[in-house]
Amino acid sequence: MTACESAAAGGACGGARSAAGERLWDRWARWAQERGSRDAVVHWTAGEEPRRYTWSALVAAAAHEAAALAAAGVRQGDVCALVVRHHPRFYPLYMGISAIGAIPSVLAYPNARLHPDKFVQGLSGMARRSGLDWILTERALEATVRPLVAGDGSRARGLLFPLEWPAAEVGAPARAVDLPREVAATDPCLLQHSSGTTGLQKGVALSHRAVLEHVESYAAAIQLTDADRVVSWLPLYHDMGLIAGFHTPLAAGLSLVQLDPFEWVSAPVLLLEALSRERGTLTWLPNFAYNLMAERVHADEVQGLRLDGVRMFVNCSEPVRHESHGRFLERFAANGVRPQALAACYAMAELTFAATQTAPGRAAPTLVVDRAALSRGEVAPARDGAPSRICVSSGPPIPGCRVQIVGADGRELPPDRVGEIALRSPTMFEGYRNGPEESARVLVDGWYHSGDLGFLHEGECYVIGRQKDVIIVAGNNVYPEDVEDAVSAVPGVSPGRVVAFGVEDEEAGTEVVCVIAEADATDPEERKRLVLAIRRAGMAVDVTISRVHLAPPRWLIKSSSGKPSRKANKERIAREPLLQPSHDDTRRAS
């Protein structure tokens, strides 16, 4: 295969060009015609032969699922929540939903830790706010989800178990699917949700045009060519997995090798094996993944693996740490990982996906700056002997996207000044689904205010932190409110006298969740039990609380609103460890 000419000229791969009025299904059907015998999706499961769909087989299977969905009553415009585990029928199902003009929304399958009530609470919040018409799931969740469908005020019309339906016969002639002509390119083609467990999830609907145009811009930024092959372990309920990992290769007519996120996190070598065996060229990873692979893969497991064909490992969705790139490079240089393959991207579902991207063929630039100046909001070169910080660039804006740094007064700041990152792009969302207040808060005069802090330097965007208190654990957003509410309800904890915040864990390359809770208990055994109960309360909302500090009554510093301040108390606990340490106070220092 050769690189398409436009890519060689620095433009997008020809395959990623969108025609006026084109919808996702039109594009996929075109690939089935033009590239029918090429791989579209390779579904990878450890210990098994991968299940390979060619473009013609995938589109035929999607047409089969579309007919079954229509027969089950799914109609154009219906929102279909997909809650299934890693399964080879996921892809044709997702595409089949699109083929009848309905709107897929991939949701996380609940893990065993999450309390079923919490899962239902989250789902019912989404059903209320986003209007989920159908829930497509596995039989194992029936008892949990059924009350939601029958419940008062729920719009959900039905529960479907499509993995039990007869599958398309291999090699059967494809049924013709004519996506209704009235489905416009400007209609929603998918609905994404932010993470969170207590009904705080915000829905972002994206149109066919937004996804196709975004893929076109992003393809130009990463110089996507027909020789590219994406390998991904990322969950598909997350924008990085869904847009970068799934929609980008499929809209561009390339192939995707999809691993099981649960298998990968238990056996991180799987990604490296898949990249080597399937000759992957592109993969997207949250920062913690670099550490996990560098630290937890045995030397003999990677013997003979070839990673020199990977032209970009794109670090995205949590702050990029220079240290993590260093560890990964040192560990896998012998397998062919090159410094110039270590790329970075700044992305969010509100923009469809990417805002900025480092240039292909060049390591993500770094800047060593003076830490004290940075905390004052200024970017200055590091001075000898003074504390410094290595900031990693997330690259310049992708074509069509604009980036501004704004100060507290809302005015644009010059380069090398730290402020909130505001963005504008043709593929930006128009607002959260049924969330006008949330939307008005973040969309100001056509600019999306990200809540992230950063600066521009020589045209590149450096993301250095957040204004919001959200904690990013292994690429997942954890809202401190969720944790505080859960911990507040633990008997023995003073209600409302709890703060949760993130603490950097350098070894893991991500943040961990830390809690300070006020309690009267003084007996050591009772305190131990309380610490355990607090950690269990976190588990029930699917949050691992790594550190628990029990504080005496009135220890927490309050903010002007009268509520305990996360920032002030995080600083206080770092400054003055509590005199009566709970077991967890002795955990490794951050």
Based on CB atoms, which residue is closest to another protein, 39 or 542? 542
Q: Are 406 and 399 in contact (CB under 8 A)?
A: no
Mention every residue, 6+ apart, whose C-beta is less than 8 A from residue 310: 275, 280, 281, 282, 283, 336, 337, 341
Q: How far is the CB of 506 from another protein (least distance, A)?
A: 15
Binder of another protein out of 38, 52, 389, 528 (CB under 8 A): 528
Residue choice 7, 243, 392, 474 for contact with another protein (CB under 8 A): 474
Bridge partners (DSSP) listed for residue 448: 423, 443
> Could you tell me the two tokens for 202?
């915000």
User: Interface mask (CB under 8 A) for another protein, residues 226-265, using x and -?
Assistant: ------------------------------------xx-x
Q: Find out whether 83 and 116 touch, Cβ atoms under 8 Å.
A: no
- 60 is written with which tokens? 């035929």
Smallest separation (angstroms) from another protein to the CB of 314:
20
CB of 109 to another protein, least distance (A): 12
| Footprint on residues 335-374 left by another protein (CB under 8 A) | none
HEC sequence for 53-87 = EEHHHHHHHHHHHHHHHHHHCCCCCCEEEEECCCC
Stretch that binds another protein, among 125-133, 374-382, 463-471, 530-538 (CB under 8 A): 530-538
CA 395, 400, 404 angle in degrees (round to 5)?
A: 60
Contact with another protein (CB under 8 A): which of 539, 557, 568, 578?
A: 539
In the complex with another protein, which residue's Cβ is closer, 68 or 267? Answer: 267
- Residue 391's closest CA among 402, 381, 404? 381
Indicate the Cα dihedral angle 316, 321, 322, 323, nearest 10°: -130
Residues 78-117 that bind another protein (CB under 8 A): 111-113
Report in angstroms how near the CB of residue 49 gets to another protein at its nearest: 14
- Give the span between the Cα atoms of 452 and 429, in whole angstroms: 18
Q: Which of residues 14-73 bind another protein (CB under 8 A)?
A: 46-47
- At residue 537, φ and ψ (nearest 5 deg) are -60, -35
Helix (H) or strand (E) holding 94: helix 90-99
Give residues 301-330 in contact with another protein (rule: CB under 8 A). Answer: 301
Between residue 258 and residue 297, which ones bind another protein under the rule CB under 8 A? 262-263, 265-270, 288, 292, 296
Binders in 113-172 for another protein, by CB under 8 A:
113
Size of the site for another protein (CB under 8 A): 33
Least distance (Å) between residue 276 CB and another protein: 14
| CB-nearer residue toward another protein: 114 or 256 | 114
Q: For another protein, which residue of 536, 554, 558, 567 counts as binding (CB under 8 A)?
A: 536
Task: Report the residue number, 28 or 332, with the smaller CB distance to another protein.
Answer: 332
Contacts of 353 (CB under 8 A, 6+ apart): 214, 218, 239, 240, 243, 244, 347
Q: Which stretch binds another protein (CB under 8 A): 94-102, 194-202, 328-336, 537-545?
A: 537-545
Near another protein by CB under 8 A, which window of 245-253, 423-431, 515-523, 580-588?
A: 580-588
Of the candidates 302, 263, 398, the one whose C-alpha atom is nearest the C-alpha of residue 343 is 398
By CB under 8 A, residue 503 contacts another protein: no
| Least separation in angstroms between CB 161 and another protein | 24
Spatial CA neighbour of 208 closest among 27, 460, 63: 27
CA distance 182 to 463: 42
Decide if residue 298 touches another protein (CB under 8 A): yes
HSE-up of residue 483 (Cα within 13 Å, Cβ side): 30
In the bound complex, what is the minimum distance in angstroms from residue 301's beta carbon to another protein? 8
CA distances from 451 to 222, 357, 438, 454, 563 (A): 26, 19, 13, 10, 21
Contact positions vs another protein (CB under 8 A): 46-47, 111-113, 262-263, 265-270, 288, 292, 296, 298, 301, 474, 508, 528, 532, 535-536, 538-539, 544-546, 583-584, 587-588
